[in-house]
């Protein structure tokens, strides 16, 4: 408690009042905006060689500077942790996705409280701190209502947070939209809702509200997009602009991007375009019957980035109208590069692949082409489009080749940086962003945070590079690791080791690249410089021990997500009861009860003759189940990641009822269910496959189907369709897990 600086006597007349000074930013402090993309490839903005229409990103580069050798951790949670702390991701517990705590220090999934975030630091310096969009830096089990909130955005320095806490969500129906620590009460989104617009509109709203309250207080706005991450979903008008633009195919368009990059002076003329990944066929070798489907995937992706660009334009226009554009530092970049996860032809419901399920026959995918990119699809593009997005580099997200590590980076500050429209080629890493922004803003790093001595940043300011083309890079080396893929950069040399997912780790399969003469990592020089390779491998090992990188883990997604404590596993075996009048139960509280196992779901309710509506719904367009009454008939629909089954409707009268779904999981992701009305079987055992699992965004609703609908035709007829009678409760009793 501060010492009182006035004088207290027996009466007011004899006393001297005193007020402690409020924390305030130094005069002239610039605003700071970070617009952060998700899974965007190096070449995707127009100013990096793309055919996608990004006039506002390009204008940002024209007002500012464009970096050609900026690198990142090649997956989302680690990159975001490094961006927000200035520290290597493993050292702040985020060596992989934050979804779960793996039981090792570098993989706890949460940023330690003694690692000061950029938001905490700027708030302490008198800034207003605002975040919209994707967080993904808290373990999923801690994002439930009962979870500890010490590592939610509002507890890590953001005065205002509006977005979602997990790694991905539906663009038309975000499953758990939060404002600070509270779930936003949404039953139905407007039919034209789209999350990319919402993140920017809210950011603009909060800036305007700040200016109405304080004309001078500087702000930090972090718009953390989930675009262009799967599911690839775009607004109809945006998608229409790209119809036919990808009919030439990925082979020709990758080569066209490469030529433009050379013509624009972004990459050296001597750069070689690496050979395509073995999984990527030449466009000419694809089945002509598939090409409309393949092109539609990339049309959707391009439309998503176009929408982000439009929203950047809205934000810039707002800043200009406020007279603050010149005094605002704007950074535009991505957490990692484009992905290979879509497979050879992409998938309409990509979460099937997440669940270890086979792709439907290609004929089924072709028949869905008109729905691809819309709210009923949860798609991802083919691997080949990811390779094109990463031009001119090989490799992808989660891997340590250039396609995963190297992304575009644009920074603008008209009042503080000259040399507008120039290119900077110095080596810079994501950990350098926080110290650079603090340096430009004149803010000192925190010595103490959350009652502890603050960990020092690993990053170094590259403000000098931004101010002078001749300034040296602030760093000469950096390690990389993701999913057992490794790399080490030092003084122009790169050693990298790429692993086969789910296979034993090959500790010795390093390649060596001289980036000063081989910008695109196209040539392996291991045999020519064995001593240089040995030097870099040793440097990686040393950095790995120092930064909590070990143990390396190359297991598949299912195995890694299964890393939970005995306490957590036991909790998933206990029955749970859910009540009406509550918000949607979190998927992490519900899905473990039905995840590839036997279960019973029973609902008790009262019904008058006219009552109808949804009794309960679990899931969304990706997959799930819904039980409802319509026109005096009881209906149950099962959506197994696109394999949909409706049980025969059953007449139901007025009175008190109990309806039970019993389910048996047989292994190999097969199962069957039956329907009981008042404990009597009314629909016998019927195959309901595949079994459900964690790849569903939405949890359980009692008495309606909020936000993302399980059954699309019911949503079109009835919307959320709240039940008009009274529901007592819904009880889920988990049973035996499937043997495999």
Determine whether 90 is an active site residue.
no
Measured distance CA(166)–CA(243) in Å, rounded: 32
Determine whether 76 is an active site residue.
yes
Of 530, 539, 397, give the one whose Cα is nearest residue 476: 539
Q: Which of 56, 73, 76, 101 is catalytic?
A: 76
Contacts of residue 366, Cβ cutoff 8 Å, sequence gap at least 6: 289, 290, 292, 293
Q: Which of 56, 136, 229, 513 is catalytic?
A: 136
**Backbone conformation region of residue 226, classed left if phi is above 0, alpha if psi is from -120 to 50, else beta:** alpha
Check: CB of residue 59 under 8 Å from CB of residue 119: no
Contacts of residue 654, Cβ cutoff 8 Å, sequence gap at least 6: 607, 608, 609, 611
Check: CB of residue 488 under 8 Å from CB of residue 495: yes
Bridge-based pairing of strands 633-640 and 428-429 is unpaired
Measured distance CA(554)–CA(551) in Å, rounded: 10
Measured distance CA(33)–CA(135) in Å, rounded: 16
Cα 443 to the chain's mean position, in Å?
29
Measured distance CA(329)–CA(30) in Å, rounded: 7
Other beta carbons within 10 angstroms of residue 193's beta carbon come to 17
Check: CB of residue 341 under 8 Å from CB of residue 321: no
Dihedral angle of Cα 691, 692, 695, 699, to the nearest 10 degrees = 180
* Alpha-helical runs (H) found in 447-529: 463-467
**DSSP letter (8 states) at residue 141:** G
The interaxial angle of helices 195-213 and 291-321, nearest 10 deg, is 10
**Which positions are annotated as active-site residues?**
76, 136
């Amino acid at each position: 408690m501060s010492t009182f600086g006035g004088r207290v006597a027996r009466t007011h007349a004899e006393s001297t009042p005193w007020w402690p000074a409020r924390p305030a930013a130094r005069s002239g402090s610039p605003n700071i905006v970070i617009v952060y993309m998700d899974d965007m490839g190096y070449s995707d903005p127009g100013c990096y060689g793309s055919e996608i229409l990004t006039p506002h990103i390009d204008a940002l580069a024209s007002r500012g500077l464009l970096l050609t050798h900026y690198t990142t951790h090649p997956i989302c949670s680690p990159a975001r942790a490094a961006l927000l702390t200035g520290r290597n991701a493993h050292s702040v517990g985020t060596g992989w996705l934050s979804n779960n705590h793996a039981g090792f220090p570098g993989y706890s999934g949460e940023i330690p409280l003694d690692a000061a975030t950029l938001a905490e630091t700027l708030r302490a310096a008198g800034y207003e701190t605002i975040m919209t969009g994707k967080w993904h830096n808290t373990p999923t089990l801690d994002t439930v209502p009962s979870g500890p909130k010490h590592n939610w955005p509002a507890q890590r320095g953001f005065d205002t947070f509006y977005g979602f806490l997990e790694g991905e969500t539906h663009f038309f129906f975000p499953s758990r939209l939060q404002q600070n620590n509270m779930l936003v009460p949404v039953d139905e989104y407007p039919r034209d809702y789209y999350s990319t617009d919402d993140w920017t509109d809210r950011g603009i709203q909060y800036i305007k509200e700040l200016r109405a309250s304080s004309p001078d207080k500087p702000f930090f706005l972090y718009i953390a997009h989930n675009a262009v991450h799967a599911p690839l979903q775009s607004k109809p008008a945006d998608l229409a602009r790209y119809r036919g633009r990808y009919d030439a195919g990925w082979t020709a368009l990758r080569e066209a991007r490469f030529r433009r990059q050379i013509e624009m002076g972004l990459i050296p003329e001597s750069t070689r375009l690496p050979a395509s990944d073995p999984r990527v066929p030449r466009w000419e070798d694809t089945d002509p019957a598939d090409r409309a489907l393949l092109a539609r995937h990339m049309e959707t992706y391009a439309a998503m980035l176009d929408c982000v660009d439009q929203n950047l334009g809205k934000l810039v226009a707002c800043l200009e109208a406020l007279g603050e554009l010149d005094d605002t530092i704007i950074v535009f970049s991505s957490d990692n590069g484009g992905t290979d996860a879509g497979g050879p032809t992409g998938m309409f419901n990509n979460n099937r692949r997440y669940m270890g399920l086979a792709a439907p026959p290609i004929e089924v995918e072709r028949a869905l082409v008109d729905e691809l990119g819309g709210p009923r699809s949860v798609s991802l593009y083919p691997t080949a489009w990811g390779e094109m997005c990463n031009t001119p580099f090989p490799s992808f997200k989660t891997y340590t080749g250039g396609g995963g590590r190297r992304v575009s980076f644009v920074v603008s500050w008209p009042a503080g940086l000259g040399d507008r429209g120039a290119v900077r080629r110095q080596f810079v890493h994501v950990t350098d962003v926080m110290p650079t922004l603090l340096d430009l803003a004149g803010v000192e790093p925190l010595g103490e945070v959350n009652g502890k001595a603050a960990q020092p940043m690993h990053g170094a300011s590259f403000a000098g590079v931004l101010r002078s083309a001749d300034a040296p890079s602030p760093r000469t080396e950096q390690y990389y690791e993701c999913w057992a893929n490794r790399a080490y950069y030092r003084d122009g040399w790169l050693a990298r080791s790429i692993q086969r997912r789910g296979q034993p780790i090959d500790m010795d399969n390093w390649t060596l690249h001289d980036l000063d003469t081989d910008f695109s990592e196209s040539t392996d020089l291991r045999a020519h410089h064995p001593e240089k390779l040995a030097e870099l491998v040793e440097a990686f090992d040393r950095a790995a021990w120092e930064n909590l990188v070990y143990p390396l883990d190359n297991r598949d997604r299912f195995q890694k997500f299964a890393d939970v404590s005995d306490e957590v596993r036991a909790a998933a075996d206990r029955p749970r009861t859910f009540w009406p009048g509550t918000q949607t139960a979190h998927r992490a509280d519900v899905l473990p009860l039905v995840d590839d196992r036997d279960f019973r779901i029973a609902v008790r309710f009262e019904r008058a003759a006219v009552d109808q509506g949804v009794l309960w719904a679990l899931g969304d367009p990706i997959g799930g189940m819904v039980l409802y009454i319509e026109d005096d008939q009881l209906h149950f629909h099962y959506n197994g990641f696109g394999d949909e089954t409706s049980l025969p409707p059953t007449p139901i009268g007025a009175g008190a009822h109990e309806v039970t779904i019993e389910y048996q999981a047989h292994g190999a992701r097969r199962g069957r269910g039956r329907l009981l009305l008042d404990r009597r079987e009314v629909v016998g055992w019927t195959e309901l496959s595949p079994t459900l699992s964690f790849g569903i965004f939405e949890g359980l609703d009692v008495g309606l189907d909020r936000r993302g609908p399980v059954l699309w035709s019911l949503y079109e007829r009835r919307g959320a369709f709240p039940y008009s009678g009274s529901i007592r409760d819904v009880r889920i009793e988990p049973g035996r897990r499937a043997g495999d």
